[in-house]
Amino acid sequence: MPDDLRSRDIGDMPAQRALAPRSVAEARGRFFNTGNAFNIVNPPVPDHAFVDEPRRALDEATPTGLIPCDLSSVLGCPFPATSPLVLARYGRIRAGETLTADFVTTGTIAYVILGSGITICGAEQIAWDAGDVFVLPGGMAASHTAETTAVLWLVTNEPQLAFENARAPAFGQAPTDLVHYRAEEIDRQIALLYEVGRNATIAGSALVFSAERQEASRNILPTLTAAMNSLPAGFVQPPHRHNSVAVSLIIRGEGCFSVIDGKRKDWSPWATTITPPVSVHSHHNGGTEQARFLIIQDGGIYYHARAMGFEFVEHPI
Ligand SMILES: [Fe+2]
């Protein structure tokens, strides 16, 4: 045993290396142990709300372009990230102009905050309006052309791919097709949830977006879930937690707030909010109208790993 390791704890040991490596490949090896390998603490995911980004996206002076909700410096990620595995952006497109996006992602989830336009992706195209949701396959560029000045909310799993230095799927090989959910149909589906009603064991009245190819998993992409949550006036969605992070767009929510680990977070119009993984959170509508927020979670990963960890918390801290 080397002298500097005598009478010490394995938890105090620095990274060990091969004593006499015979190759560069051997020299690259590092050894840790049960005492020093599992105590790395990453910066926590904060309960942040992006409010300047939507303000800029909705400002008439802002040119056509993308505004990322980037917390990479806080998260210690060497790539743009809203949460460790999810990236949200606002895209502003002036009337008559085109925004082309070619993200390194398996798919993009879009919500139309403002305006109308056309998106062309591969051989397909859709015409969208405010309130629509659509999904674009990764591995191919999408061009968004605004008929009237438009603001889109665009969410991808680019950080997930960047984490592994992975590429986008080859052209035509994405795990999703182009899928379009029109505002009118979303309204009809939400109204249906209230018409049919729910029992007390169901967590709320959220409309979950899925598609032909993800029907078995109920997800929108293999690793991402998307839900339009609705809160009737005066309603409280009870405290709960899950291992997935939630990156949400506040669509309508006057008088609404969330409580995250005991802290009140007032909603701000068109903000992108982060509900940290494992945090105990509840949503409160103190207003007079039904509230709406679109929630993207990295829940597909946790469902697949059998580790979602959803639970109601009766006595939050
Ligand atoms: Fe939640």
The pLDDT tens digits for 31-73 are 999 999 998 899 999 999 999 999 999 999 999 999 999 999 9
Looking at residue 52, what is its pLDDT? 98
Q: Tell me how far the alpha carbon of residue 215 is from its chain's centroid.
A: 20
Q: How far, in Å, is the centroid of ligand 1 from the Cα of 296?
A: 10
Distance CA 266, CA 260 (A): 11
pLDDT of residue 317: 53
Sign (positive/negative) of CA torsion 268, 269, 270, 275? positive
Taking the model in full, what pTM does it have? Answer: 0.94
Please choose, from the candidates 143, 137, 121, 142, the residue with its C-alpha nearest in 3D space to the C-alpha of residue 169.
137
Total residues belonging to the chain:
317
Cα 194 to middle of ligand 1, angstroms = 20
Query: What is the structure's pLDDT at 203?
Result: 65
- Measured in angstroms, how far is the CA atom of residue 190 from the centroid of ligand 1? 18
Q: Which pLDDT score is estimated for 227? A: 97
Instruction: Compute the distance from residue 287 Cα to the ligand 1 centre, in Å.
Output: 20
Q: Report CA(246)–ligand 1 centroid distance (Å).
A: 7
- Please give the distance, rounded to the nearest whole angstrom, from the Cα atom of residue 56 to the centre of ligand 1: 28
* Residue 29's pLDDT band (cuts 50, 70, 90): very high
Q: How far is the CA of 123 from the centre of ligand 1 (A)?
A: 37
**Which residue carries 């000045």 as its tokens?**
149
Q: Give the mean pLDDT of 205-221.
A: 94
Average pLDDT over residues 211-229: 95
Mean pLDDT of all residues in 126-131: 98
How far is the centre of ligand 1, averaged over its atoms, from the C-alpha of 240 (Å)? 6
**Of the candidates 221, 119, 124, the residue with the CA atom closest to the CA atom of residue 172:** 124
For the chain, the domains span: 49-312
* pLDDT at 201 > cutoff 90: no
Which pLDDT value is given to residue 150? 98
Angle CA(281)–CA(285)–CA(287) in degrees, nearest 5? 155
**pLDDT bucket at 202, cuts 50 / 70 / 90:** confident
Site of tokens 């497109």: 93
What's the gap in Å between 211 CA and the centre of ligand 1?
Answer: 22
**How much distance in Å is there from the Cα of 47 to the middle of ligand 1?**
13
Distance from the CA of 111 to the center of ligand 1, in angstroms? 20
CA of 242 to the centre of ligand 1 (A): 7
| pLDDT above 80: residue 204 | no
Tokens encoding 18: 């091969």
The per-residue pLDDT of the chain, averaged, comes to 95
Rg (CA), the chain: 22
Number of other residues whose CB lies within 10 A of the CB of residue 41: 5
Ligand 1 center from residue 135 Cα (angstroms):
22
Which DSSP helix (H) or strand (E) runs through 151? strand 142-156
Torsion angle defined by CA atoms of residues 159, 164, 170 and 176, in that order, rounded to the nearest 10 degrees? -50
Residue type, 182: R
Q: pLDDT class for 7, splitting at 50, 70, 90? A: low
pLDDT tens per residue, range 138-182: 999 999 999 999 999 999 999 999 999 999 999 999 999 999 999
Sign of the C-alpha dihedral computed for residues 296, 300, 303 and 306 taken in this order: negative
Give residue 81 CA to ligand 1 midpoint distance, Å: 20
Q: Smallest Cα–Cα separation from 147: which of 94, 99, 101?
A: 94
128: its two tokens: 């969208």
Class of domain 49-312: mainly beta
Residue 88, helix vs strand vs coil: strand
